[in-house]
Structure 1
Amino acid sequence: MRGVSTFLLLVLALTGCTSAEPTADPAPAPSSPTTPSAPSSGPTQPPTPTERGDTLPPATDTPSLANLMREDFDGRGLRVLRTETTTDAYTRQQVTYRSNGTLVSGVLLRPHGRGPFPAVVLNHGYIEPTSYVTGQGMAREQDWLARAGFVVLHTDYRGHAAGDPAGNLERELRLGYARDSINAVLALEKLPYVDADKTAMVGRSMGGGVTLNALVAAPGVVDAAVVYASVSSSFLDNLRHFTLPNRPDAVRALEDRFGTPQETPAFYRGLSSRTYFDRITEPVLIHHGTADGTCPPRWSRTTQALLRKAGVDSTLVEYAGEDHTFYARWQDSMIRTVRFLRRQLDV
């Protein structure tokens, strides 16, 4: 396994679409292509380990990614609850695991054979927790990756399905979802048929933000990451775009407790993965449709620009006319994803 240590609370309720306000985290955004963009090149100057995960930013007295980085993750206790189905390629089971004491549920897909297999943790997008059912949100990716020879653990996150409840603050900040994703990797790696040196994360929409938070909180926890149609790497972008127009009471409660963005800008920066992109050690592949009406394509363009500026080996691929759900070009994107994962994990 790779060295990991870190955490404290949690990133944002996404329940609808509306136009975003300007971000408080300045960054240049590249111009929008009209066709799927060619993969952009990686960093021009490889970072050293010291520049990545070895140096921690100062701890804070409020929830933050800096505090998450200090937690000792202990993902363990992966337990099969029941087998849902067995296909020609894999067995799908409902499972639970422990995330630093919190019970989290999910689904596990194991390819037929002895292994050891490479493994992928899936981080799903926003679905109202009260209506969410286990394994919901990335069924297509589950099947495709398992058929490609990967053990797949789709985490439900805390407060979803059969997992332990999550408090209101946890559901707003969502740092706990990143904790659950990191611990999912550690729990997977303890399985005898998983190759612990060949693991990855794939996150969609809100799960893209969860994935980026996990990468900055626990450098080296996986060997590669893929994000689809991701939310912004700025906490404020997401707060203004999703939460403010849909649940203004939640925003007021957050500001009453921690201050407004004008009063305490450091608090909001401390919840933004982009603040700590210089800690990411894994190659990152980003997919985004140019017609995405939920998460504006400019968010991924800005994230890609900042990842490259931080020296991260990152690639952005855009799909002309594709919306948030990725229908017409989804198969193309998965072929590219599997090719990327096999290359980075050397399988």
Structure 2
Amino acid sequence: MVTKKSIVYILTSLILFSLGWWGSDIYKNYLNKEQMLPAWNKPKPLEKYTIENLSKTNFEPSKITIDKNIFSFKANGKKVTGLINMPEGNGPFPVVVLLRGYVDQSIYTTGTGTKRVGEYFSKNGYITVAPDFLGYGGSDIESSNIFEARFQTYTTTLTLLKSINKKNFPDWDQKNIFIWTHSNGGQVALTVLEITGANYPTVLWAPVTENFPYSVLFYTNESEDHGKFIRKELSKFESDYDVEKYSLTNYLDKINAPIEYHYGTNDDAIPVEWRNRFVGQMKELNKDFTNHNHSGADHNMNPLWSDVILKTFQFFEKHKRT
């Protein structure tokens, strides 16, 4: 005969056994940091950086401080510095945001990759602002997570664009904001255009336009470990997140800005297949898109830099609101 005392004993034993098994599992996880946590228990802090989630995020404008030719602002509570060029004479002037390509932090100085373009446009009546991005120049450090550091370039640019106002830039014409990019700055700009859906006329010089994460893996052989660390981190990222939600190639239809694309036939950093694919995608989507191929030009548009910058200027002038 089963007594009440026996039932209590059995239930208590089952509970203690379950707690022991569960506690043992937690202890193993504590000892092995690499072990997967249950899906229901694992935080996903980078989920906020999907293109769809960023499009729903309200980016507050920041106060911009200018000291000679260096400006600074706060993005997500972190200081970001950059190079500013002001035209001579009386305004108002349009603003061009300059987004550079990849530069190794050990050799970077403020203005690397944008200084020459900034000087050209300031001489022709444009205010130019070129953010260093986190981890560069006088900015605060970037995230220790390599993918969050990548996504922070989007939030930094989004905050900067939101901060272009009459209070921060008294000489701004309050009508015109343009974007110029080079190389990796291209994928930043395209992602920002997708997130905002805003009409920022944009010029892309030799842009990175491939899907994420392939666009990252493509360049891994340039690192000292030939990409071993990046591939390891990517494996972790893919186990937790849907990479398709972070890839600009899936959201090109959200772009509502006119775009001018420049590519040099001697470019050794951007494969011609990338150019062909991107041009085809933009045409298929019937976007306001202009493509220029420059025979003999390299990744930096040399020796045709003067021709390409003139076309860029003419594009901005064409789309200037008066």
Answer whether TM exceeds 0.5 for this pair.
Answer: yes
5 Å-filtered alignment, 1:59-98, equals: 61=47, 63-81=49-67, 83=68, 93-98=69-74
Question: How far, CA to CA, are the matches of 2:247 and 2:290 in structure 1?
Answer: 20
Residues 272-331 of structure 1, C-alpha deviation per residue, up to 9 Å, x if partnerless? 212111111100011011121111122122112112222321111111121112111111
Q: How many residues align?
A: 272
- TM-score, reference length from structure 2: 0.79
Give secondary structure in 2 for the equivalent of 1:304: helix
* Selected match of 2:140 from 153, 164, 167: 164
Q: Which residue of structure 1 aligns with residue 230 of structure 2?
A: 250
1:192 aligns with 2:175: no
Structure 2 stretches lacking a partner, 5+ long: 1-45
* Selected match of 1:153 from 124, 129, 137: 129
1:293 aligns with 2:251: no
Give secondary structure in 2 for the equivalent of 1:195: strand
Contact conserved, 1:291 with 1:297, CA < 8 A, in 2? no
Give secondary structure in 2 for the equivalent of 1:104: strand
Q: Closer, same or farther in 2 for the Cα pair 1:269/1:335, shift >3 Å?
A: same
Give the C-alpha shift of residue 169 in structure 1: 2.3
Q: Which residue of structure 2 aligns with residue 230 of structure 1?
A: 207
Contact conserved, 1:289 with 1:297, CA < 8 A, in 2? no
Give the C-alpha shift of residue 255 in structure 1: 0.9
Question: How far, CA to CA, are the matches of 2:320 and 2:242 in structure 1?
Answer: 36
Give the C-alpha shift of residue 151 in structure 1: 0.3
- TM-score, reference length from structure 1: 0.73
* Selected match of 1:99 from 61, 75, 85: 75
Question: How far, CA to CA, are the matches of 1:164 and 1:68 in structure 2?
Answer: 22
1:329 aligns with 2:304: yes
Q: Closer, same or farther in 2 for the Cα pair 1:326/1:337, shift >3 Å?
A: same
Q: Which residue of structure 1 aligns with residue 255 of structure 2?
A: 280
Q: Which residue of structure 1 aligns with residue 43 of structure 2?
A: none
Give the C-alpha shift of residue 103 in structure 1: 1.3
1:113 aligns with 2:99: no
Give the C-alpha shift of residue 113 in structure 1: 2.1
Higher RCO (C-alpha under 8 Å, 6+ residues apart): 1
Question: How far, CA to CA, are the matches of 1:64 and 1:96 in structure 2?
Answer: 26
Residues 185-227 of structure 1, C-alpha deviation per residue, up to 9 Å, x if partnerless? 222333111123211111100111111111111121x530011
1:239 aligns with 2:216: yes
Question: How far, CA to CA, are the matches of 2:318 and 2:300 in structure 1?
Answer: 26
* Selected match of 1:201 from 151, 170, 179: 179
Give secondary structure in 2 for the equivalent of 1:77: coil
Give the C-alpha shift of residue 244 in structure 1: 5.8
Give the C-alpha shift of residue 171 in structure 1: 5.4
Q: Closer, same or farther in 2 for the Cα pair 1:312/1:100, shift >3 Å?
A: farther
**Letter of the structure 1 residue corresponding to residue 57 of structure 2:** E
Structure possessing the higher radius of gyration over alpha carbons: 2
Question: How far, CA to CA, are the matches of 1:103 and 1:166 in structure 2?
Answer: 10
Contact conserved, 2:88 with 2:123, CA < 8 A, in 1? no
Backbone CA RMSD of aligned residues:
2.0
Higher mean displacement: 245-254 or 205-214: 245-254
Question: How far, CA to CA, are the matches of 2:314 and 2:259 in structure 1?
Answer: 13
**Letter of the structure 1 residue corresponding to residue 66 of structure 2:** V
Question: How far, CA to CA, are the matches of 1:114 and 1:228 in structure 2?
Answer: 30
Q: Which residue of structure 1 aligns with residue 192 of structure 2?
A: 214
Q: Closer, same or farther in 2 for the Cα pair 1:176/1:170, shift >3 Å?
A: farther
Question: How far, CA to CA, are the matches of 2:220 and 2:246 in structure 1?
Answer: 15
Give the C-alpha shift of residue 176 in structure 1: 1.3
Question: How far, CA to CA, are the matches of 2:222 and 2:125 in structure 1?
Answer: 42
Contact conserved, 2:209 with 2:249, CA < 8 A, in 1? no
Segments of 4+ in structure 1 off by > 6 A?
Answer: none
Contact conserved, 1:68 with 1:175, CA < 8 A, in 2? no
Q: Closer, same or farther in 2 for the Cα pair 1:268/1:178, shift >3 Å?
A: same
**Letter of the structure 1 residue corresponding to residue 100 of structure 2:** H
Contact conserved, 1:123 with 1:207, CA < 8 A, in 2? yes
Percent of aligned pairs with the same residue? Answer: 24
Q: Closer, same or farther in 2 for the Cα pair 1:170/1:121, shift >3 Å?
A: farther
